[in-house]
Amino acid sequence: MYAAEDLLLHTNAEVTLIDRLPVAGGLVRHGVAPDHPSTKKIGESFARFHDHPRTRMRLGVEIGEDLSVEEVAAHHDAVVYAVGASDARSIGIPGEQLAGSVAATSLVSWYNAHPDADPDAGAAVLAAERVVVVGNGNVALDVARLLVADPDALAATDIAGPALEALRNGRVREVVLLGRRGPEHAAYTASELLALRHLPNVDLVVDDHDARIGATIDGAAPSERAAVLAEVARERVDWSRAPGEGRRRIVLRFHSAPVAALGEDAVRAVRTTGPGAEVDVPARALVRAVGYRGTPPAGLPFDEDSGTVPHEAGRVADRPGTYVVGWIKRGPSGGIGANRVCAAETIGTLLADAVAGRLPEPRGSARAFARLVRRRARRTVNARGLAAIHRVELAAGAREGRSRVKLTTAEALFAASRRGRLPLGR
Ligand SMILES: Cc1cc2nc3c(=O)[nH]c(=O)nc-3n(C[C@H](O)[C@H](O)[C@H](O)COP(=O)(O)OP(=O)(O)OC[C@H]3O[C@@H](n4cnc5c(N)ncnc54)[C@H](O)[C@@H]3O)c2cc1C
Ligand SMILES: NC(=O)c1ccc[n+]([C@@H]2O[C@H](COP(=O)([O-])OP(=O)(O)OC[C@H]3O[C@@H](n4cnc5c(N)ncnc54)[C@H](OP(=O)(O)O)[C@@H]3O)[C@@H](O)[C@H]2O)c1
């Protein structure tokens, strides 16, 4: 959307916006945590460009499936791929595939009502009293926070209805955040770490199992994140004891890498490294929050190591008129704002190519493209349909005292989009 905004504001280009899902928003809708409503507001500012007179929206069209990369290129002067990075990286430990081991990507999709989410993604995790979350990034913090949150406090948000219900019946008492390095190397931001300190009725504890931890936190020049931990209780956690009955808690265990998930047919413990010996942390669920991974549509060059499309300042190598932006360009890191700078670079390259006459001439017209889309995609959603989806979700939210009730399936989204075609928007 930053790329589209740049084009619409600074050129007279016509822009086709395509997404494989019947609803727009990417990770702003399906990634950002429901208890971060102010972050999600950026979606409203992007929405100003959905029904811009020079925008055509074609939602529900998957490139690489419904249309090939070549077909899209043949009908446009330039194509910018902003397809993100939706797969999960794996940790690469034995037992990772046991029941009860879940990728954060699945859990996040589930609580954010992604239409492709596994409806059972949260079941095993919420049935566990102790959950080990591997990874020290902001996604790990999002997951930990939501697992111990008071469901009543989430009730007003746009969290997926089935996830809210499941949280109400959940048994989680303790979440252990496993960082393979020290607090000074944690990938999360100090502000998100600080927020954990202020969760109502939740204790935050640092497992003081390794002398390096205290030394870093109490050191002469702690990093911003380590400084946040100075106010946090430290204790040597006895893992042979079950999580307490009192307040829920989040335990930060640093300098501890996962070695294996243990269990016959389901996770019963996570073997971790410690300063002397390995330590088994009993837990019936393991959440792998070790990062996302990009998979671009077939037909684009791909670098397996980084999970990105090779490019030069946004221009895809050996594909004239093809560009990348966002996580599929830079890899799966950086907050929403980082994509604005990234888009400025890509659109700058695109415009320089246009001025230099380096864009290939499209063979098909916009009208021919519309016909092609109609032939290939059984059903699509345009800007009016998207507006109808938002109206339906907001109205349901108003009825239930929630900011929005998200529709959780593609079927329901398509059905809601068609209500926009009826008089009075019914
Ligand atoms: C769990 C999570 C929480 C986050 N929370 C925050 C936060 O609180 N604050 C913050 O600043 N940043 C946050 N981020 C980071 C932020 O979401 C990303 O920086 C940003 O969304 C990346 O944008 P993108 O356009 O590259 O990818 P995405 O937002 O993933 O968008 C990619 C879009 O491409 C579509 N697509 C994929 N393949 C195809 C295809 N073949 N054909 C058609 N369409 C396709 C997808 O459906 C999707 O809509 C979070 C990230 C995650 C994972
Ligand atoms: N509130 C927000 O602003 C917000 C919320 C969510 C996400 N985001 C952003 O979205 C991006 C993605 O976040 P993310 O959390 O998915 O990724 P991330 O920031 O890259 O963090 C991944 C974490 O996984 C760890 N890890 C990787 N492989 C591991 C392994 N084999 N064993 C143990 N640990 C391993 C990494 O440790 P090492 O450092 O040791 O490799 C790191 O701590 C980030 O830029 C994040 O800031 C922002």
Ligand 2 mean position, distance from CA 332 (Å):
9
Torsions phi, psi of 262, nearest 5?
Answer: -105, 145
Tens digit of each residue's pLDDT (9 = 90 or more) over 198-215:
999 999 999 999 999 999
Tens digit of each residue's pLDDT (9 = 90 or more) over 85-122:
999 999 999 999 999 999 999 999 999 999 999 999 99
pLDDT band at 217 (very low <50, low <70, confident <90, very high): very high
Q: From residue 161, how far is each of 158, 205, 394, 411 by CA, in Å?
A: 8, 31, 14, 16
Mean pLDDT calculated for residue range 255-281? 97
Q: Cα–Cα distance between 283 and 150 in angstroms, integer? A: 21
Higher confidence at residue 246 or residue 420?
246
Ligand 1 mean position, distance from CA 139 (Å):
13
Tokens in use for 319?
A: 């594909």
**What pLDDT shows up at residue 246?**
86
Per-residue pLDDT for 424 more than 70?
no
Nearest CA to ligand 2 atom 1: 138
Q: 170 with 275, same domain?
A: yes
Any atom of ligand 1 within 6 Å of the Cβ of 327: yes
Domain contains 64: yes
Three-state DSSP state, 72 = helix
Tens digit of each residue's pLDDT (9 = 90 or more) over 343-378:
999 999 999 999 999 999 999 999 999 999 999 998
Listed residues 291, 306, 331: the one ending a domain:
291
Residue-range definition of the domain harbouring residue 299? 2-86+294-380
**What pLDDT shows up at residue 307?**
97
Mean pLDDT calculated for residue range 280-309? 97
On average, the pLDDT of the chain sits at 96
Q: 11 with 37, same domain?
A: yes
Domain count, the chain: 2
Domain contains 406: no
Higher confidence at residue 225 or residue 105?
105
Q: Cα–Cα distance between 106 and 319 in angstroms, integer? A: 33
Mean pLDDT calculated for residue range 152-157? 96
**What pLDDT shows up at residue 420?**
59
Q: 37 with 151, same domain?
A: no
Mean pLDDT calculated for residue range 315-339? 97
Share of the chain above pLDDT 70, in %: 98
The string over 102-118, giving b where at least 16 C-beta atoms fall within 10 Å of a residue's C-beta and e elsewhere, is bbbbbbbbbbbbbbebe
pLDDT band at 245 (very low <50, low <70, confident <90, very high): confident
Q: 263 with 366, same domain?
A: no
- One-letter amino acid at 340 equals R
Listed residues 291, 312, 336: the one ending a domain:
291
H or E element at residue 43: helix 42-47
Listed residues 257, 291, 325: the one ending a domain:
291
Q: 146 with 287, same domain?
A: yes
Treating both helix axes as pointing N-terminal to C-terminal, what angle do 2-10 and 338-355 enclose, rounded to 10 degrees?
A: 50
CATH number assigned to the domain comprising residue 240: 3.50.50.60
CB of 85 closer than 8 Å to CB of 325: no
Domain contains 426: no
Nearest CA to ligand 1 atom 39: 83
Q: Cα–Cα distance between 87 and 48 in angstroms, integer? A: 29
Q: 314 with 373, same domain?
A: yes
Model's pTM, two decimal places? Answer: 0.97
